[in-house]
Structure 1
């Protein structure tokens, strides 16, 4: 009886694992369908935007408020697309490069496509890069002072 109990426990464990994987597969499929629909809507909105600009240019008029609304609608769709892509990447245990958008394994430190650092240390790395720019301005001023000295001679 002990062996049969082990078999039943292992079967239950396997069934639970398969159930979880099936649930993840369904979730990923739904997200992929959502991505496809968002991409289709973005393409449709771009066509509308292009037609709107063409007609406005041809008529010699421009309705800036309607143009701004169309652009804001596209921006909203891109924000939704980014959110759905992030959800899909999380389900796939992937991380998306903030620079080029390629997906890598979650434990990747650098993007294999563009080389950007993918860890959380990314933000502090950018701040020191901004600080050397300020001292870089100082040497630009130094030659200007040197030019003044040359004019004095």
Structure 2
């Protein structure tokens, strides 16, 4: 029965190896779960910080009273919001779109009525660019034609 003893030793070794792998996998899963829980709690904290900041900003906008350092931060937010608004306008001009002032739907600049809410749209003012070189050339051509 020495063959069975060899198989028995191999089986026992495989079983111990499987138990070790299972234990390590369980520990790894628990580690991952704990890391995820820590991440989730950190996200909740960040959300609370944002909520606190938003409430302070709303207090500043509604009442105009908060501490001076908060007022400076709120004014920075106002400046950044104005900059973002200007940048969004530039993007819209590049994409040749506009927003309906009533419902906010993005529209092609040539649309006269919003298909969403029916609001009449302001049509863009087409600015004709007059180049000085063209005027000079036309003047020169006219002068030449006048000479003939």
> So what's the TM-score if we normalise by structure 2?
0.42
Query: Which has more radius of gyration?
Result: 2
**Higher RCO (C-alpha 8 Å, min separation 6):** 1
More helix by share: 1
